[in-house]
């Protein structure tokens, strides 16, 4: 298998050659892109900006998108390695809960609530390695309490695992959250859990994710009198907007985005920057998702235009601030004419959420692509330092 230092492009080349020496032209034909595009991606001169392109290339190579991204399987990344030791215990706890086993509680309700609050704080800071260390015991303790307590912690586990690259386990955690919320018929937490489920589905299942979001929207509509439910309905519309776009239905995606914007306008941004369960639903979050959807459509100019009206700092979750800077940086880097501005945006993205930025294979590739273009000149010190913090060694 490719080493961690490799790019998405080098993994594509690895798997292409494993397929009986498949040529770039054949891969390009199967994936619906040009041979020149495949060549530039494999050499590191160009990055893949669209999820749908990743899906098409993975399908042509008969591998998963996770194989191309190198997620959840490659050691050597300090941010992930510190959490990876905890993942087997998290997995074991999820299996135990799914099998219906419940251990007696060893903590008082006050102590349990304090720990859950702490993991929520870590989630807002995108400190997923620290979350992972708390989750094995916290999952088992919350299972003893059940109901919304378990739904909340399982949601946290799903978010943490997904951002660490363990999407298959994130899906297990989301299912635990859904079951817990269904058991107590709590619409707001059911909405949050359904959102976690949709977010955890693999990229290849974008159409399934869009349908799952649609079903949840229908199921939760009756509870729209509760502001918390309205926030989660908005989040589900946003998720459906992106997954529909990835699945080749941008028209449906636009309809969902319009519904989300309408709901956000009536609610406004959450006064505390977090809202129910830290989802941050409101006009600012809608704008951030609109940037991501424009990036998926390959509309770099539109991403840059949208960014001018967004103030991501009004949201408490650092991952949303990182999303802004990462989408903007990748749009600025498109074409290679604004690399200095792109680098400045990537530095801001890393500052907002260091661990997930270092773990993001798309960020990794974008930084390497800028370095590749800079070799004709001198690699800027800021680029070399950023790459070093991401575990990328740029040779002098």
Nearest to 341 by CA among 325, 320, 359: 325
Answer yes or no: is pLDDT of 382 > 90: no
Q: What is the pLDDT of residues 344-368, one digit of tens each?
A: 999 999 999 988 888 888 888 888 8
Give residue 77's pLDDT: 58
Minimum mean pLDDT range among 251-260, 262-271, 275-284, 374-383: 374-383
Residue with tokens 């949050």: 192
- CA pair distance 248, 244, nearest whole angstrom: 6
- CA pair distance 349, 345, nearest whole angstrom: 6
- CA pair distance 152, 118, nearest whole angstrom: 13
- CA pair distance 37, 33, nearest whole angstrom: 7
Answer yes or no: is pLDDT of 73 > 60: no
- CA pair distance 382, 378, nearest whole angstrom: 11
| 233 contacts 263 by C-beta, under 8 angstroms | yes
Average pLDDT over residues 315-334: 93
Q: What is the pLDDT of residues 12-64, one digit of tens each?
A: 998 899 888 889 999 989 988 899 999 988 888 888 878 889 899 999 998 88
Give residue 43's pLDDT: 84
Give residue 5's pLDDT: 46
Give residue 97's pLDDT: 95
Average pLDDT over residues 376-385: 78
Give residue 1's pLDDT: 35
- CA pair distance 373, 163, nearest whole angstrom: 29
Q: What is the pLDDT of residues 3-25, one digit of tens each?
A: 344 788 888 998 899 888 889 99
The whole model's pTM is what? 0.88
Which whole-number Å values give the CA distances from 51 to 151, 273, 274, 310, in the listed order?
Answer: 29, 29, 27, 23
């Amino acid at each position: 298998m490719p080493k961690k230092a490799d790019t998405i492009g080098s993994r594509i080349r690895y798997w292409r050659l494993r397929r009986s020496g498949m040529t770039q032209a054949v891969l390009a034909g199967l994936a619906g892109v040009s041979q020149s595009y495949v060549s530039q991606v494999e050499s590191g001169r160009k990055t893949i900006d669209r999820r749908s392109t990743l899906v098409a290339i993975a399908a042509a190579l008969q591998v998963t998108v996770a194989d191309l991204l190198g997620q959840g399987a490659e050691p050597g990344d300090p941010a992930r390695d510190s959490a990876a030791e905890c993942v087997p215990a998290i997995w074991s706890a999820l299996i135990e809960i799914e099998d219906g086993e419940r251990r007696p509680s060893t903590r008082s309700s006050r102590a349990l609530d304090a720990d859950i609050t702490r993991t929520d704080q870590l989630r807002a800071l995108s400190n997923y390695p620290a979350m992972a260390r708390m989750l094995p015991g916290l999952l088992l303790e919350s299972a003893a309490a059940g109901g919304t307590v378990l739904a909340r912690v399982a949601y946290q586990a799903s978010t943490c695992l997904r951002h660490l690259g363990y999407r298959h386990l994130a899906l297990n955690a989301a299912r635990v959250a859904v079951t817990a919320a269904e058991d107590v018929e709590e619409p707001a937490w059911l909405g949050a859990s359904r959102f976690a489920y949709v977010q955890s589905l693999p990229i290849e299942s974008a159409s399934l994710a869009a349908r799952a979001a649609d079903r949840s929207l229908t199921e939760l509509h009756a509870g729209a009198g509760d502001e918390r439910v309205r926030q989660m309905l908005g989040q589900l519309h946003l998720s459906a907007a992106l997954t529909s776009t990835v699945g080749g239905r941008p028209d449906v995606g636009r309809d969902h985005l319009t519904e989300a914007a309408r709901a956000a306008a009536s609610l406004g941004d959450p006064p505390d920057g977090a809202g129910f369960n830290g989802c941050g639903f409101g006009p600012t979050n809608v704008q951030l998702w609109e940037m991501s959807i424009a990036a998926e459509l390959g509309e770099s100019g539109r991403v840059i235009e949208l960014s001018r009206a967004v103030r991501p700092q009004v949201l408490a979750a650092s991952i949303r601030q990182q999303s802004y800077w990462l989408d903007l940086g990748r749009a600025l880097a498109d074409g290679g004419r604004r690399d200095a501005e792109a680098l400045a945006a990537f530095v801001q993205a890393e500052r907002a959420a260091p661990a997930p930025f270092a773990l993001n294979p798309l960020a990794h590739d974008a930084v390497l692509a800028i370095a590749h273009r800079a070799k004709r000149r001198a690699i800027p010190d800021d680029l070399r330092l950023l790459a070093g913090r991401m575990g990328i060694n740029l040779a002098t």
